[in-house]
């Protein structure tokens, strides 16, 4: 009898769990406070860091992520689009904003017939989030998941034909996003950084374990100051000055961020441009984007890197760990920063071919 009662209780519990799994709660009142979805055409055509072709329409869009935080982007739409089209989400380098690199890709890919959305990461540029320049790898990945939410609910987008491009640090964020979002049908990275490994170990393992622990300890101490309303502190970023003795990589970073690609978001002090919030910077220490990268398969992956890029070993590692189908493209003579905005070096023909083939 006891066995029978136990079996009946277990059956009843299973029935309750099954019913709970099918239950869908109504929208809570808090959902009303999510930022609205907007789409406004931008009529200006002249931008310092990118060019909008004449056959492309440009819009400023905004939408909410899953946590009620506002994401802002520039949406590039082919002027002659006749039917729901192939669409790309594009992420900017770590420390940059959409106007730097990702809008270059958006404009060029729209010229080739793709709808393309260049987003500002949360905590950066026009997107929401506090503290400004805050580090939150999971939320960075969520930005791309939320971009698919937005695009997949537009009538001019074919939700079965959405791909994703991550430049520099965004290369690791789009991998993180794609691992848990099969709506992203094809993934490309350009000049990718494994930003978690870079923060843990430095470029080419130049950071010792003791140095890493010091960074973590200083970030933890900064939390006290932040909690008490003290002055926000920043770390890293592109150098603000270089000289003849500066390493080549620093010179190249300076040339882009304080030269041809310089862009300071409205209202942001120049002194913090490209820098990260110190207290949250330690979040990168727990970010392992290449773990389980093989689970993205059978969705295809395209890895693009410069032949002379200081960062190429990140791409080589990701490519080695990824499962088929995958492809590695090495751009002759290119350094890391060349593939941000030098349209004569960026392999747009390859990107077009890859996404046309795999978004079908």
At 252-289, the pLDDT tens digits run 999 999 999 999 999 999 999 999 999 999 999 999 99
Per the prediction, the chain carries an average pLDDT of 93
pTM of the model: 0.91
- Per-residue pLDDT at 292 exceeds 50: yes
Residue with tokens 């727990």: 286
If one compares 323 and 32, the residue with the highest pLDDT of the two is 323
| Cβ within 8 Å of residue 56, ≥6 positions away | 76, 77, 78, 79, 107, 110, 111
User: What number is the average pLDDT over the span 337-350?
Assistant: 98
**170 vs 165: CA distance, rounded Å:** 8
% of the chain beyond a pLDDT of 90: 89
b (16+ CB within 10 A) / e for 192-223: bbbbbbbbbbeeeeebeeeebeebeeebeebe
pLDDT for the residue numbered 24: 53
Share of residues in the chain with pLDDT > 70 (%) = 91
Q: What's the pLDDT tens digit per position in 9-36?
A: 555 544 444 444 445 555 555 566 899 9
Show the tokens assigned to 314: 């990140």
């Amino acid at each position: 009898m006891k066995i029978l009662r136990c079996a009946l209780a277990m059956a009843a519990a299973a029935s309750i769990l099954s019913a709970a799994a099918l239950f869908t709660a109504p929208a809570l009142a808090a959902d009303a406070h999510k930022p609205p979805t907007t789409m406004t055409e931008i009529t200006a055509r002249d931008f310092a860091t990118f060019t909008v072709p004449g056959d492309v329409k440009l819009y400023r869009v905004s939408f909410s992520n899953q946590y009620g935080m506002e994401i802002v982007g520039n949406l590039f739409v082919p002027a002659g689009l006749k039917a729901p089209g192939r669409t790309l989400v594009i992420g900017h380098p770590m420390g940059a904003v959409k106007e730097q690199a990702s809008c270059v890709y958006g404009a060029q890919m729209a010229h080739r017939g793709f709808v393309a959305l260049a987003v500002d990461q949360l905590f950066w540029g026009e997107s929401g989030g506090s503290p400004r320049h805050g580090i939150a790898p999971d939320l960075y990945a969520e930005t791309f998941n939320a971009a698919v939410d937005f695009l997949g609910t537009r009538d001019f987008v074919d939700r079965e034909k959405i791909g994703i491009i991550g430049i520099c640090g965004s290369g690791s964020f789009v991998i993180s996003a794609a691992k848990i979002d099969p709506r992203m049908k094809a993934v490309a990275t350009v000049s990718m950084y494994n930003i978690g490994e870079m923060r843990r170990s430095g470029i080419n393992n130049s950071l010792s374990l003791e140095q890493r622990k010091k960074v973590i300890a200083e970030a933890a101490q900064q939390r006290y100051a932040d909690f008490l309303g003290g002055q926000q502190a920043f770390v890293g970023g592109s150098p603000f000055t270089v000289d003849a003795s500066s390493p080549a990589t620093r010179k190249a970073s300076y040339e882009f961020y304080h030269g041809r690609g310089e862009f300071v978001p409205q209202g942001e002090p120049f002194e913090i441009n490209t820098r990260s919030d110190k207290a949250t910077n330690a979040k990168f220490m727990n970010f392992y984007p290449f773990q389980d990268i093989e689970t993205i398969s059978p969705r295809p992956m395209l890895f693009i890197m410069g032949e002379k890029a200081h960062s190429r070993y990140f791409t080589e590692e990701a490519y080695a760990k990824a499962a088929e189908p995958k492809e590695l493209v090495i751009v002759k003579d290119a350094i890391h920063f060349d593939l941000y905005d030098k349209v004569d070096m960026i392999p747009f023909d390859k990107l077009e071919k890859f996404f046309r083939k795999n978004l079908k």
